[in-house]
Amino acid sequence: MALEKLIPPGDDLYPRSRQRVDGVELGLIRGRSGKHLLLSSSVEGFTGRRLSGGGILCPLTWENALALTKLLPRLAPRCAPESAPVFGFGDRLGLATPGHVLALEGAEVFPMLAQQSVRENARTGRSFADVLARAIFGILQVGYRGAFGADADHLKSIEDAAEAVRTGYTFYTCDPSDHVVNTSGLSAEELADRFRGMPDSVQLRARYLGKEHLVPGLGALRFTEDSLAEAAVKYGNAVRYAGKFYNWLSSLRSGHFDFELSVDETAKSTSLCEHYFIVSELQELGVRLSSLAPRFPGAMEKGVDWRGDLDSFRDELAGHAAIAESFGGYRIGLHSGSDKFSLYPLFAEGIAGNWHVKTAGTSYLVALEVLARVAPGLFRKVLQRSVSQFEQERSTYHLSVDLNRMPDIHRLSDEELAVLLTQDESRQVLHVGFGEVLRSPLGAELLGLLGESEHFHNEALRRHLARHLQGLGVKGRA
């Protein structure tokens, strides 16, 4: 039976989602009971409510998403190509993929359309399977036909990695920050003592001291006793952990996969000698890097632009890019990449497209901007909840927020509430409060409101994320 005749009364078909495969028509529909996948006839692997006309109405579950990828293999995530820049679209709500895809139109970039960290999933109560399923159905909704990847972000345990492997993720970000030593409070003597106590200190001295480590485009890196001790003490355990993590993944997952090491969440920036040390040691362990996310200088905080000296950043970026190229051309990752508009031109100019920028919280903030405009009363509740839990929620983020600098919400009219999404303090408070909001009854209200305002929400996402891609030089301006 034709798909139109199977659509329940009052429901609407997303026209771009309509597909015909092996004599079966399918599409995504929306009605009073939410979104469903509609198939013109039963297909193995799909579960749902059978219709009198012979079709089947399927809930948007992980099991049905998996069945859909078998019917339409292009909807399964893939590894990133060797040379393309990569842009990650995190989606804390499970609603943003259609808007993300609209932002991609005309962009020359490989998208991670399923990207979430363990930390974010824990706070929202979601899973890697749910994140990927929502991305797959969002891709179907708007008829996207390009390739995309799935990034299991900030993995700290093999148990979390195993879940991502079972779910079919293609990109794995190892976060060894629990094994990085904060050396900022150690004197030169203390560093030297710790280095001498390391079991491989003799081999490391032989490998790095008294040599010129040539890096094309940068020159010669020379390790001193102090810089080698700093690198080895700070990152030695983290590198060994990353090597074990990579081997675990290799034993769990057959075939090629993308592997990133993230050392961005540390107290001190990653020096060029430290970058060289990390990757050289990883190569000794047989690790094939797809991306390295160093800790850059300056204030790389969530949801706001970068603060620091741009000339210094440009020089550091050029050095990191040269080292990456000398070791085979892995990407340089910019985490906390949301809204770093002052840095995007430097990435566009300085890394020749070999970068990986990640965003997540900025899409949540777009949703809250929509909320402020269409449901100001609910927005006020979300803000109050975020403020009340801020000191607890900020503990895992590097922030310099002073709540005293926030505008007084009680003095703002409903029409003025959206200004809070343009002010650093309030943006960051809202950014890190997402878990507390989404786990509360406010979360269901927010999701329902955004569903009712879907076109407005998707258009806001398209504009905001397209601005990121334009700044990075991979999308022209309309």
Instruction: Tell me the angle at which helices 97-104 and 128-142 cross, rounded to the nearest 10 degrees.
Output: 50
Find out whether 38 and 27 touch, Cβ atoms under 8 Å.
yes
Alpha-carbon radius of gyration of the chain: 24
Q: Which pair of structure tokens corresponds to residue 289? A: 């890097």
Residue 407, Cβ density class (10 Å: 0-12 exposed, 13-18 middle, ≥19 buried): middle
Find out whether 130 and 108 touch, Cβ atoms under 8 Å.
no
CA proximity to 66, closest of 167, 170, 171: 167
Is 436 designated active site? no
DSSP 379-425: HHHHHHHHHHTHHHHGGGS-----GGGS--GGGS-GGGGGGGGGSHH
Find out whether 410 and 340 touch, Cβ atoms under 8 Å.
no
Choose, from 153, 230, 258, 425, the residue flagged as catalytic.
Answer: 153
- Residue type at position 412: L
- Cβ-proximal residues to 322 (8 Å cutoff; 6+ apart), any chain: 215, 216, 217, 218
Q: Report the C-alpha gap between 123 and 121 in whole angstroms.
A: 5
Q: Report the C-alpha gap between 86 and 333 in whole angstroms.
A: 9
CA proximity to 426, closest of 379, 463, 472: 379
CA proximity to 208, closest of 275, 273, 269: 273
Residue 387 CA to its chain's centroid (Å): 24
Is 153 designated active site? yes
Q: Report the C-alpha gap between 322 and 351 in whole angstroms.
A: 9
Note the residue count of the chain. Answer: 478
Q: Report the C-alpha gap between 270 and 179 in whole angstroms.
A: 15
3-state SS class at 377: helix
Q: How far is CA 140 from CA 18, 36, 110, 144, in A?
A: 8, 12, 17, 6
- Cβ-proximal residues to 44 (8 Å cutoff; 6+ apart), any chain: 67
Q: Report the C-alpha gap between 416 and 405 in whole angstroms.
A: 17
Choose, from 91, 120, 260, 281, the residue flagged as catalytic.
Answer: 260
User: Please, what is the end-to-end C-alpha distance for the chain in angstroms?
Assistant: 41
391-395: Cβ within 8 A, 24+ apart: 393/432, 393/433, 393/435, 393/436, 394/432
Q: Report the catalytic residues.
A: 153, 260
